[in-house]
Structure formats: structure tokens, C-alpha cells
Amino acid sequence: MINVAILGFGVVGSGAAEVLADNRHVIEKNLGKAVAVKRILDLRDFPNSPFGSLVTHDFNDILNDPEISIVAEMMGGSHPAYDFTKACLQAGKSVVTSNKEVVANFGAELLELAAKNGVRYLFEASVGGGIPIIRPMVNDLASNEIISVNGILNGTTNYILTKMLDEGASYADVLKDAQDKGYAERNPAADVEGLDAARKIVILAALSFGKLLDPGKIHCEGITKITAEDASVAKALGCSVKLIGHTELVDGRVLAMVSPRLIPCSNPLAGVSDVFNGILVDANMLGECMFYGKGAGKLPTASAVVADIIDIVAHMGQDRVRAPKFEVAGDADYADFSAYKCRTMLAFEDVAENYDKLEKLFGVTAKFSHGRLVIVTDEMTEAEVDQKIAESGLAVLSRIRFL
Amino acid sequence: MINVAILGFGVVGSGAAEVLADNRHVIEKNLGKAVAVKRILDLRDFPNSPFGSLVTHDFNDILNDPEISIVAEMMGGSHPAYDFTKACLQAGKSVVTSNKEVVANFGAELLELAAKNGVRYLFEASVGGGIPIIRPMVNDLASNEIISVNGILNGTTNYILTKMLDEGASYADVLKDAQDKGYAERNPAADVEGLDAARKIVILAALSFGKLLDPGKIHCEGITKITAEDASVAKALGCSVKLIGHTELVDGRVLAMVSPRLIPCSNPLAGVSDVFNGILVDANMLGECMFYGKGAGKLPTASAVVADIIDIVAHMGQDRVRAPKFEVAGDADYADFSAYKCRTMLAFEDVAENYDKLEKLFGVTAKFSHGRLVIVTDEMTEAEVDQKIAESGLAVLSRIRFL
């Protein structure tokens, strides 16, 4: 019998307890041994939960219990989650987590600490919820050099953008609908401003290129400025609009960014709708490969947490296990965002004189579309686009990059 | 230095040699040790290949070389691939393969033989080419009970069906185009009759439900009877047509089947076009999850073969590794196909009297569509559909199940 402790009995934490209980026969069949929750740490009590008797308010009940060999941290937030994780690893307990904030901020240090203590730190559930992505990147793509990763990493914003495009509704109306349905939080900032996606793309960039960037230091644009007009221009261009976490190497340095993107319908990411997530990995031998599924939710996310627990149990007592390795990025590891190249959609006021100016500057014919003057640039750097906009002297109504 | 031998220097075999050589820096970084091809078995010589000097025509040069610890079998066909695999496993060498025929026919025995000899038998490349699917099913879905798997498992037929639907072209014309482009073989039977997909769904069924069915004993329908009329009816119904390998439990027994399916556009498999493969797994906690990518081709498939080699090297010398486990299905393990339930599209001759007969029998209103009388049944068993067709006394022009 393997004893597990759960830190944080919220949505995902209670889901993990349920998965371990409801699927115990599958898990036992796969492992040849049973796994059970012994303790649950939470500030609250849960008298009506079947797991209520396992709850403790004292972390030391878990830390000092030699029978608990695996701790599943699903508290959210950096502190005390990080501190508890560190203490568990130092005490020789393996830790699994769904907490992208801790992985994005402290993942390199915690992986190193786990290795030093002969235990493991796994975080499949931190990106893409239940979708297998971390382990496939570490194991299945080990024969490949990663070229780029593009991911729809946040279900809330994908739901909002899908509705805006399908129904032509405004951002504010759809956000309210998403909040009513429980798809968006009352304070939706971390989702709609892109921070949640930034943490996830930083984790995927670390797996791809070995350097863990600070999510606060990458280019991060949310979806709050996307308008119904943008949605209708996108449709006219044969594109979908998605909030994309993107990472690639630019001149040997790591670029990671989050921004809304115009995605041609032929791209498999264009079909990833509603609250689903999709992660498209381009690798030098494999080519493009997409992982698709439920990027959030109680049981899907918990199923990834439990997959990590099973992985640890399956390899217990072995001196060598496969683990992701990355280090904290130094200043020199960050690519210069202004050198990032792509095609960009720019919208201006629909006035005849603007047409000539834009054609001269960008060498492309502007289109009158949906009450706006819309141009699509050739592939050019951020710096070039900035400079041309400055030269034009015009106010940009909207600027959305193509993927 | 880990020495590998390659059996079969065809498309995938030469691809594996290329991946190992061209990506050796990534592989060495991931593993902390180098992996190189020492010997290649083929009947032919390759004087112009950079690997030409490694070629031998004598299998014993590989079998008896104690320095070779891993053998990659990419010969295709059951014999002598199966015999060589067995000999290698018995000699204490691990084997990786892209050969779905051997895995589908002898996988249970070979996995057992590998376990008995303390070595491994891995076959990531046998399903979905380069797409990670076998290892994710074994590792990442270990916390889930599998409900069903639906896969577009054959790129050739998917290319043909995509063209037929997009362009309204006939099967014969598109097949010829596919042959000219090298997407279909001169003798396309194994692809278009569904046998290739049958082997792959049998492997996925074994991973899902623990029983390896005989691909020759499952319901297997190819795409040769699909007409341009069917394609246009499908579009009128808001559906795509795909050759789908399907597996699920019916009354506790394993159902696996291959047939063309009508797929509503809202299903993520509907967007898997051209030569791409997509595998949609429905699991009891995770929900639906799709793996998408290049299901064939030299380097993508080879990259999966090399991922298996890396997996073996990473766990060398460890007494316990995670391996799929399944056994040969007995007669009682096969579900009764006639009890399989789904909605079905039936097309008949467009004659007024047929309309009344069909409405009486099926309780649905037949539609006149594209010169045919088309009905969509409620969800009912194969046996019920057969019986009603017999009662009608009408000739069925076309019968395609919905997914």
C-alpha cells in the first residue's frame, strides 16, 4: 500500500481523491499495488465529504509521517505551496503538482532539489489540464529537436473568443456569460490578461529549450482589447482568433510570448473550440503533432495528477528515472522580442488618404473591411512594424499577429 | 556508447539511421550517453549510403554480437520479422519495432518473452507513425479506465476520402492521383480494404482492454465502396467521411472494428485531413483527448522508433520498467458485432413507394437527396438494421454508420 497526502482540498484536490478512490481497481491493476490517500491538508473542514476524516490543518502531520511517500500539491498560489513542496522534497517525499505558478516560478530549483534528494517532482497537470503533454515531451519527443510550440493553453479565453467569433458578440457580453456559466472567475484577470497562459508557455519553453524564463518578463498580451470588429475582420480573412502561447528559438535565444493570433482555418489549432486546449509541437523529425483535450476541470486535471503519482510508484526504488531538466534563464537567454518576425494584421480608420499612406509604407494594398482599413503585412519584425506605424503617424485601431 | 542494429533498411529503417545520426547531439544530451548504429541487416547492398559499410546479409552477425543490446526491426511482414524478433529477445536484446503486422499478430507472446528475458519490446511506431500514442496510453492514461478509442489510423485512405469530399471526385480518380503522388501503393489493398487500420485498432484495443484480438476476426470494411454520391450526401448531412478504427467494450467483451464513418463536423476527428492521423481516446476521468500528427512517412515514423530506443537506454539495468500487458483474446473475449449500436445512414433508390415503406419500418422520414432516398436511423443494433432492411425487401445502395 502506497500512502499519499493531498495538499489543498479544492476542485482539483478533491478530484484527485475521487480518481484514486473511483479508479482504484484500474490503478491497482496497472501498478500491482494499491494507492490510497492517507492525509489531506486544508484550512477548512469537510464534514460531509467521505474523505473528511483525513483532513488535518497541520502540515507537520504530513511532513513527519514516514508512511507518506508521495505528496500531491494542489493548493494554487506560490506560497505556502512552494515552501511545503520544498520541505517535502527535502524530507525524501516525491511531489506531484497541478500548480503552474509554482512550476513556472520555481520549477528549476525544485527539480534540482528532487534529484539531490533521490525523489521526484512531476507536474503533468500544470499545463493542458488532463492532456498528456509534459511526459510526451520528455519521453516521446526525446529523439527530436523542438522547433516551436504553439498552444491554446487557457480554456476561459478560448471559450470567450469562440463565442465572439461564432456569434459576433462583444467581449463584455461573452465574459459575463462565461462568468455565469462558471467558465470564468469573478476576477478573470489572470485568464483574460494572459498570465495563466504565460506561466504555461514558460513551462513548455523550459522543456523545449532547457531555460526557464520568468513569466513576468515575456511579452504577454491578453484578449481584453479584442473587439467584435476584430472578430469579423478575422472571419473575412478566413481565420480564427485564439490566445496563443508561442515559443521558439530566435538566434539561439528563447522567445516565449502570449498574444491573440489570427490562425488560418487550415491550421489544426483553428478547430480547437470552446473550453478545449490544443498544443501544437513542431519537432525537427516528427513534424507537427497536436495534443488536444480538456485543459481544465476537476476530474481531467486530477487524472493527470494521479498519472504522475502512478509514474512515481511504478519507478519507486530505482536509482535512475527520466526527469525533465532545465535551469533558470539568465538575461542573455531571453530573445529580443523586437526581432520576432511574423505577418501582422493592422486596422486603421477607413479614410481615403490613409489608404495611400499605408500602401506606400507597407507595399501592400489596404482593404476596406467592416468599416475599417485593414492591411496584412508581409513577414516582418516587431521593430519594423513599430517603425512603419510611427512613420505613418496614424492611430492603430487594432494589431493582431498571424500564426 | 550503446550499439543498435537495424533490421530492414527500407524507408523507415534508413530514416531511423538518419534520426540517430542527425539528432545525435539532442539524443546524447537527453540520455547522457551516445547511441550509434553498428549493423544493418538487409538483402540489398547500399554502396551509396553513408551507412553502406554497416550492412550485412547475415542475421547472425547481429544476433551473436554481444555489443549490440538493442535491435530495431523495420522489415515489415510477419516473417522473418517475427522469428528474428523472438531470437533477439531470447538472446537478451531489447527490440523496438514499427511493424504493426508483427505486433498485431504476435504482440502478446513477444511482450511475455521480453519480460521473461529481462529485456523490452516497444512498438510506439506501429500505430500513428510518429504520433506519441502507445506510451501516453500506457503511462499517462494509467489513472483512467478507457471507454473507447476512435482513430483515423491510415493516411492513404484519409487522403482519398478528404479529396473525394473536398472535390467531389470519384474514388478511382482520387486513388490514381494518390498513387501518382506516392501516397498510395500500386497495390493499395492493405490500405483501402482496411487491413492496415484493423491491425492498428487491434493494438489500441489490446492496450485499452488487455485482450489482443485477431485482426482477421474483426469487422473490417474499407473505403472501396464509397462513392461521390455518398460524399455529397455526407456533406448535406453536415458530416465528413473517415475510415475509423473503433474499439469499446460491449457487455464486457471487446469490440474492435474498421469501417467508414459519418463524422459530424463538431467532432475533432472531422478536421483531421489529408494524410494526417488522429486518435481520439475517451477515458472515464480525462474525457476526450486527441493525438494528432503524421501517421506515416520516413522521419516521423523513425522518430518514434528512436524514442523507443531512447526509452530503453534510459532505463537500462533497472529491474522494473513499465510495459504494456495484454493476452491473446479467447473466443469469449470477442463482442458480438451484431449487438453493436449506432446511428446508420441508409440510401435507397429514389422511388415514391420506397418512401412509405421506409417510413413505416424505421419510423423516420426519408429524405430525397442527390438522386437518392436517404434515411438516418435512430441508434440501433447491426442486427436490427439488417432485419429491417430484409423486411423492406429493398436493395441498399449505401450503408454508412455514424460515429
Kindly report, residue by residue over A29-59, the tens digit of the pLDDT.
989 999 999 999 999 999 999 999 999 999 9
Average predicted confidence (pLDDT) for chain A: 95
Q: What's the mean pLDDT in A11-27?
A: 97
A303 to chain B, closest Cα gap in Å = 6
* CATH ID of A2-129+298-328, from 1.10.600.10, 3.40.50.720, 3.30.1120.80, 1.20.5.510: 3.40.50.720
* Whole-number percent of chain A with pLDDT over 70: 100
Residue B355 C-alpha cell reads as 418512401
Residues in chain A within 8 Å Cβ distance of B326: none
Residue B266 pLDDT grade (very low, low, confident, very high; cuts 50, 70, 90): confident
Residue A353 has pLDDT above 90, yes or no: no
CATH number of A136-294: 3.30.360.10
Region B110-134: what's the mean pLDDT? Answer: 97
Cell triple for B235: 456533406
Is the CB of A155 inside 8 Å of chain B's CB atoms?
A: no
Q: Which chain A residue has the Cα nearest residue B128?
A: A289
Q: Each residue of A285-295: pLDDT tens digit?
A: 999 999 999 98
Q: Is A145 on the interface with B (CB under 8 A)?
A: yes
- pLDDT one-digit tens code per residue, A254-267: 999 999 999 998 89
The CATH homologous superfamily for domain B337-402 is: ACT-like. Chain A, domain 2 (3.30.70.1150)
pLDDT in tens, A222-273: 999 999 999 999 999 999 999 999 999 999 999 999 999 999 988 999 999 9
- The pLDDT, as a whole number, for residue B352 is 85
**CA atoms of A158 and B26, how far apart (whole Å):** 34
pTM, entire model: 0.96
Provide the shortest C-alpha distance from residue B33 to chain A (in Å): 13
Of residues B100, B163, B200, B242, which has the active-site annotation? B200
- Cβ separation of A286 and B294 shorter than 8 Å? yes
Picking from A126, A286, A327 by the largest number of B CB atoms within 10 A of its own CB, the best residue to mutate is: A286
Burial class, A339, CB count within 10 angstroms (exposed 0-12 / middle 13-18 / buried 19+): middle
Domain parsing of chain A, residue ranges: 2-129+298-328, 136-294, 337-402
Which of B131, B144, B306 has its CB closest to that of A26?
A: B144
Each residue of B166-193: b (16+ CB within 10 Å) or e?
eeebebeebbebbeeeebbeeebebbbb
Q: How crowded is residue B114: how many other Cβ atoms within 10 Å of its Cβ?
A: 23
E strand spans, A77-173: 94-97, 121-122, 146-152
Kindly state the average pLDDT of the residues B7-18.
97
- Which residues on chain B are in Cβ contact (under 8 Å) with A144? 23, 26, 303
A294 noted as active-site residue? no
Residue B318 has pLDDT above 90, yes or no: no
Q: Select the more confidently predicted residue: A369 or A90.
A: A90
Give the integer Cα–Cα distance in Å for B388 and B394.
Answer: 10
Percent share of chain B, pLDDT over 70: 100
Question: Per-residue DSSP letters for A347-361?
Answer: EEE--HHHHHHHHHH
Whether B26 and A294 lie within 8 Å, measured CB to CB:
no
Give B317's pLDDT tier (boundaries 50, 70, 90): confident
> What is the predicted pLDDT for the residue at B371?
81
User: In the A/B pair of chains, how many CB contacts fall below 8 A?
Assistant: 179
Predicted local distance difference test score (pLDDT) of residue A204 = 98
Task: Tell me the mean pLDDT in the region A270-286.
Answer: 96
Three cell numbers, residue B255: 469490440
Q: Residue B102 has what pLDDT?
A: 98
For the packed helices A298-314 and A11-22, what is the interaxial angle rounded to 10 degrees?
Answer: 60
Segment A366-381 shows an average pLDDT of: 89
* Band (B363; pLDDT cuts 50, 70, 90): confident
Interface of B with A in 69-128 (CB under 8 A): 124
pLDDT exceeds 80 at position A370: no
Asked if the Cβ–Cβ distance from B300 to A286 is below 8 Å, we say: yes
**Contact with chain B for residue A147, Cβ under 8 A:** no
Residue of A nearest to B292 (CA): A290
pLDDT at B226 over 80: yes
